[in-house]
Structure 1
Amino acid sequence: MCAAARLLGIRTAVAVPVTVAVSVVMFGIASLSPFDPLVAYLGDNYQAATQSQRAAVRAAYDIDQSWWQAWWNWFFGAVRGDLGWSSTKSQSVTTVLAERIPFTLALSGAALVTAAAVAILVGGITGMRRGGALDRLCTGVAVTVAAMPPFVVSLTLVAVVAVGLRLLPASGASAPGDDYTAGGLVRHAVLPLIALTVSQIPWLMLTMRTAVAQACESDAVRAARARGVDGWALLRGHIAPVSVLPTLALLGTRLPELIAGAAIVETVFSWPGMAATLVESAAALDFSLLAALTVGSAFAVLAGSALSDAAAVAIDPRIEMKA
């Protein structure tokens, strides 16, 4: 446990300069965007606006300031707890995040936990029966699904379940005009949750299956079999503790794909998370909101990697990780 805590401390110290560097790079790259933020600010009035009106809007939103000045102002505001004002949402960035991040976190978190549970269970079973009919079936399905982008899975679910069978709603988090309710949220979240979960299962399951198959060939497992240990007792007591480590390591490295997949799935299902907000902020060069989302995503990836490595060290103290 001390080794895991020490690892988390080192990763936290590394994460601070990394996230700062990410914010600097984001402002620099965003400044090269060909999009004119005035189009987003003025909307349908862009073509009719006079030069003086456009100049007034540029001055009001500080559009003409250099990117490094924009970063400097945003960074020191963030240090004081002020993430700035979102020009695209006409709200403070804190308010935008508070309204939308819970939807993204709930969807992504539920998908990650569900995918990990299914992958560990199915991977463990197929790994212990390597070469059998179930192993070949599950491996074939996993490879096929892994080759399918999340938007293909999402559109297939919409076409079959929502449009064809009319079993579940195809978009949103509530019926048009209705307030959010627990039942409505669950009902509308089923399809995006399935889409995001399915896109995460294949590589986790294949990794678990390979690790279990290798563990089954180890001397320790052979000795356990010789003592009469078999089935779930063998998997739970001798194989799973060793085999789950590669899957934990993979969970941390798959977070960028989870974030990207969540953005795609949210867009297809019109889930009121951060996906549409991220696109709007990028197109309009809404630096304050875009910076908060970019830095938040980077921090989530770093935190996920650190937590997965710390969990591996806690499970098996023989693992040595310096950072």
Structure 2
Amino acid sequence: MTTQLAPNTQSPGEEVAAQCCSSDPGSVPRRTRGRRVVGLLGRRLLMMIPTVVLVSLGVFAVAAASPFDPLTEHLGDDYQSATASQREAVTQAYGLDGHWFGAWWRWWGDVFSGDAGWSSTQSRPVTDVIVDRLPFTLGMSLLALLFATVIAIVVGALTGMRRGGLLDRVCTGVAAMLAATPPFVVSLVLVSVFAVGLGWLPAAGARRPGDAYTVAGLFTHGVLPCLALTISMIPWLLLTMRAAVVDAAASEAVRGARARGIGGWALLRGHVVPVSVLPTLALLGTRLPELVAGAAIVESVFGWPGLAEALVDSAVALDFSLLAPLAVGSAVLVLIGSAVSDAAAVWIDPRIGLRA
């Protein structure tokens, strides 16, 4: 009996692609990685411009189609007692009688000239509101995202390497339960337990009434909202990391490493995590809208003086002078975060070859 070798059915291009995909990511020079990352960020920047324009158009179009009358919000309790001439004066002063496209065009002109408008809900210039509240939102959101990412990567790696064990079953079950729990429920539970029940932490705000902002006060008041936002971000990141570790542990590369005597932390750190962390980074870019929405809910529950709380207040009160820049800014933040996460993935493994 003779044994015949199967003919090579791959084309030369497919053979090259297979060799590239099987090569070590570390063999790609840093300069090549840098060029790919810069090219990716440049393309994302070009795509961001029309996206931001469309988002801003959508905000003004939806505002114009809203059944609510912004005049009632501008006048407040004086709406019923205001005369027709007073209502007309307020309407002209805020440009409420014009077409929404003209208001959108004027808004962009004011933004480029450095005048973002006046917030009726905050009774302050929009620029001052953003400058004062932005550090609160960025600080809490970035800390929550960092904590959630670290916890998800560590716990996901441990549970994935011990698939089917007690730790895996417990963590997977808790993550599935938390994934189905809205952020406001998590926030209310934390307030009920740690603020009302135990009295360990304050329930709302970022400082005691009448006190100035201090580092200690911000830390004490920020523990619960940061914890609530962190908990709401962990489940999907953890489950994604666990699934990626399970797949990586069953791959031929990891089996070969085990055959060479590599195991334990060396196997996890050198062969499993570098491959498994890429899906988690990709998920971070797609879950950033959830971070923005979760921050808005958490800040509203805890009375945290951030931009997300101002976004909710401006939407409820039809304060479009503040709503428009906050909505556009949220879209820009999501686009930037998605681009940065993809750029990090390309830097870690240039074989990904993202084009857009």
Q: TM-score range by the shorter chain?
A: over 0.9
Q: Is the 8 A contact 1:130 1:213 kept in 2?
A: yes
Q: Deviations over 1:96-133 (max 9, x none)?
A: 10011111111111110100000000000101111111
The answer to whether the aligner puts 1:269 opposite 2:302 as a matched pair is yes
Q: What residue number does 1:259 align with?
A: 292
1:246 to 279, 298, 311: 279
Q: What residue number does 2:320 align with?
A: 287
Q: What residue number does 1:121 align with?
A: 154
Q: Give the C-alpha shift of residue 148 in structure 1.
A: 0.4
Q: What residue number does 1:101 align with?
A: 134
Q: Is the 8 A contact 1:266 1:275 kept in 2?
A: yes
Q: Give the C-alpha shift of residue 18 in structure 1.
A: 0.6
> Which structure has the bigger radius of gyration?
2
User: What SS class does the counterpart of residue 94 from structure 1 fall into?
Assistant: helix
1:181 to 214, 217, 221: 214
Q: What residue number does 2:335 align with?
A: 302
| Rounded Cα–Cα distance in structure 2 between residues aligned with 1:286 and 1:65 | 16
TM normalised by structure 1 equals: 0.97
| Rounded Cα–Cα distance in structure 2 between residues aligned with 1:157 and 1:6 | 44
1:139 to 153, 168, 172: 172
1:216 to 225, 245, 249: 249
Q: Give the C-alpha shift of residue 86 in structure 1.
A: 2.1
Q: Give the C-alpha shift of residue 155 in structure 1.
A: 0.3
Q: Is the 8 A contact 1:154 1:265 kept in 2?
A: yes
Unaligned runs of 5+ in 2: 1-33
The alignment yields a C-alpha RMSD, in angstroms, of 1.2
Deviates more, 1:25-34 or 1:240-249: 25-34
Percent of matched pairs sharing the same residue: 63
What is the 5 A alignment of 1:1-323?
1-323=34-356
Q: Give the C-alpha shift of residue 34 in structure 1.
A: 1.8
Q: Give the C-alpha shift of residue 32 in structure 1.
A: 1.2
User: What SS class does the counterpart of residue 31 from structure 1 fall into?
Assistant: helix
| Rounded Cα–Cα distance in structure 1 between residues aligned with 2:348 and 2:247 | 19
Q: Give the C-alpha shift of residue 176 in structure 1.
A: 1.3
| Rounded Cα–Cα distance in structure 1 between residues aligned with 2:45 and 2:327 | 18
| Rounded Cα–Cα distance in structure 2 between residues aligned with 1:206 and 1:155 | 24
| Rounded Cα–Cα distance in structure 1 between residues aligned with 2:53 and 2:248 | 42
Q: Is the 8 A contact 2:159 2:242 kept in 1?
A: yes
- The one-letter code of the counterpart of 1:266 is E
User: What SS class does the counterpart of residue 213 from structure 2 fall into?
Assistant: coil
Deviates more, 1:111-120 or 1:91-100: 91-100
Q: Give the C-alpha shift of residue 4 in structure 1.
A: 1.1
Deviates more, 1:54-63 or 1:133-142: 54-63
Q: Which has the higher contact order (CA 8 A, sep 6+)?
A: 1
Q: Give the C-alpha shift of residue 88 in structure 1.
A: 2.7
Q: Deviations over 1:81-101 (max 9, x none)?
A: 332222332322111100111
- The one-letter code of the counterpart of 1:215 is A
Q: Is the 8 A contact 1:111 1:194 kept in 2?
A: yes
How many residue pairs get aligned? The number is 323
Q: Is the 8 A contact 1:37 1:283 kept in 2?
A: no
Unaligned runs of 5+ in 1: none
Deviates more, 1:60-69 or 1:104-113: 60-69
Q: Is the 8 A contact 1:192 1:265 kept in 2?
A: yes
Q: Give the C-alpha shift of residue 45 in structure 1.
A: 1.6
| Rounded Cα–Cα distance in structure 2 between residues aligned with 1:125 and 1:178 | 44
